[in-house]
């Protein structure tokens, strides 16, 4: 909305000649007013305490007029006359440009590709201008009228500048903890070893006490007692109780127990340097051969497993770094192999994150907590309080696996980068710095 700053005036006129109105404005404003011969008519208006330039603007709009101020001379003409003049001036300029000889200049680019710069500079050319790309020298050959090269020079300097570089360090922390406890029991007894009826456990080569009795029990063909409860722990520690009250009752009690603890930590730190707005990929992988048989044809294919980092950084005007990040970690799992082909344990994170220069961001994490209890027991007897432990095996296993992704970007300075102006050549053979 225009701001009017002229002297306040009050006007009350009816059927007033428009030429005399402009003479009145000239006297009030102190401007020299020149009128187009085609201007005529009368003005009727009533204004109170309005700036004189606002009153002039209202009359010009009502009568389809326009004004051109040059110094202290105000030229007023019809809009049709002004548009006709502008069209004629444009036609004259076009004719002059068509008659102007073309100038050809070459631009050798240092920090950007000629095809990328050529597509942008082509929009700044006149209708007669042309661009030829020289990929071998990474140069542009531009032909155009001389008046266009001011804008072209400024745009080439803007485009052909060294891009900032970003060093990106990713850290993958993988921590695993495991704990297991196995408590087992073996119980063998025999009642009536010397006389009378015999009460004992289930006979069998694998279901007898590891202790040899002498003389051998009456109801067995071997020297060990038949076991009533045979749930040993996978352990080499425990206690054994061998009881023979009066020789007619034999009792073997074997308690075995073991615990196992494990801790593992894996840290991977891939690092890559890339330019601003240029995607970069770094990979640390192992290729594992996998043999397949299809239609009696054996082939070997290599599958890649490892850590892959893909990142595209963008440096903002505030000095922060906006990144599109994809991190993938894959490991073969031979414990779940099918026909010799391992399954793949994969963890990945894809995100867009804004990080300050030198700052560290946690872009993802995976926590897996497993708690397992397995019980084997004699039906019924294993459920008895306290004494039921003599008839069962309890295996407890706990594991925790945690995976965390960190990323740290750092903007690299241009101090050590050679900087040349477009078209310059480094004759000394030494890098120039600025």
Q: Is the CB of residue 184 less than 8 Å from the CB of residue 235?
A: yes
What distance lies between CA 198 and its chain's CA centroid?
76
pLDDT, tens digit, for every residue of 130-163?
Answer: 999 999 999 999 999 888 899 999 999 999 988 8
**Measured between alpha carbons, how far is 328 from 344 in angstroms, rounded to an integer?**
12
pLDDT in tens, 267-317: 778 888 888 889 998 887 888 887 777 777 878 888 788 888 889 999 998
Q: Strand 249-268 vs strand 139-144: parallel, antiparallel, or unpaired?
A: unpaired
- Give tens-digit pLDDT for 346-380: 878 888 989 999 999 887 777 788 899 998 888 88
pTM for the full predicted model = 0.54
Domains, the chain, in order of start with CATH, read 8-95 (3.30.1370.120), 100-160 (3.30.1370.120), 185-258 (no CATH), 263-414 (no CATH)
| Residue predicted with more confidence, 266 or 66 | 66
* Bigger pLDDT: 184 vs 366: 184
pLDDT higher for 154 or 200?
A: 154
As a whole number of angstroms, the distance between CA 85 and CA 261 comes to 94
- The confidence score (pLDDT) of residue 221 equals 58
H runs (alpha helix) in 147-240: 149-159
Say if residue 428's pLDDT is above 50. Answer: no
Residues forming beta bridges with residue 344, ordered by sequence position = 332
Query: For residue 1, what pLDDT band results from cuts at 50, 70 and 90?
Result: low
Confidence of residue 431 (pLDDT cuts 50, 70, 90): very low
């Amino acid at each position: 909305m225009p701001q009017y700053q002229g002297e306040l005036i009050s006007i009350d006129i009816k059927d007033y000649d428009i030429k005399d109105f402009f003479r009145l404005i000239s006297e009030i404003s102190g401007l020299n007013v020149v009128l187009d011969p085609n201007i005529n008519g009368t003005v009727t208006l009533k204004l109170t305490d309005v700036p004189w330039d606002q009153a002039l603007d209202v009359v010009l709009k009502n009568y389809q007029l326009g004004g051109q101020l040059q110094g202290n001379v105000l030229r007023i003409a019809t809009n049709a006359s002004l548009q006709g003049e502008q069209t004629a001036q444009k036609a004259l300029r076009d004719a002059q440009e068509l008659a102007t000889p073309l100038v050809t200049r070459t631009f050798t680019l240092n920090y950007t590709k000629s095809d990328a710069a050529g597509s942008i500079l082509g929009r700044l050319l006149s209708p007669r201008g042309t661009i030829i790309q020289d990929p071998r020298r990474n140069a542009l050959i531009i032909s155009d009228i001389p008046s266009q090269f001011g804008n072209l020079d400024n745009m080439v300097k803007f485009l052909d500048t060294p891009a900032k570089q970003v060093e990106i360090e990713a850290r993958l922390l993988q921590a695993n903890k495991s704990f297991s406890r196995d408590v087992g029991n073996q119980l063998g007894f025999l009642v009536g070893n010397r006389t009378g009826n015999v009460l004992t456990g289930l006979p069998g080569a694998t279901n007898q006490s590891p202790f040899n009795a002498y003389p051998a029990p009456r109801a067995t063909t071997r020297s060990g007692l038949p076991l009533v409860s045979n749930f040993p722990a996978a352990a080499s520690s425990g206690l054994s109780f061998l009881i023979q009250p009066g020789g007619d009752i034999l009792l073997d009690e074997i308690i075995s127990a073991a615990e196992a603890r494990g801790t593992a930590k894996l840290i991977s730190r891939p690092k890559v340097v890339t330019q601003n707005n240029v995607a970069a990929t770094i990979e640390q992988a192992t290729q594992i051969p996998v043999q397949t048989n299809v239609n009696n044809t054996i082939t070997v294919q290599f599958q890649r497993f490892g850590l892959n980092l893909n990142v595209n950084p963008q440096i903002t005007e505030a000095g922060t770094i906006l990144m599109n990040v994809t991190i993938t970690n894959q490991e073969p799992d031979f414990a779940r192999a099918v026909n010799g082909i391992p399954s793949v344990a994969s963890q990945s994170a894809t995100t867009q994150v804004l990080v300050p220069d030198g700052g560290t961001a946690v872009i993802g994490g995976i926590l897996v907590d497993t708690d397992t209890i397995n019980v084997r027991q004699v039906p019924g007897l294993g459920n008895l309080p306290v004494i039921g432990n003599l008839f069962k095996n309890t295996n407890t296993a706990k594991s925790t696996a945690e995976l965390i992704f960190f990323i740290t970007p750092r903007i690299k300075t241009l101090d050590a980068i050679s900087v040349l102006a477009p078209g310059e050549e480094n004759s000394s053979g030494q890098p120039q710095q600025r």
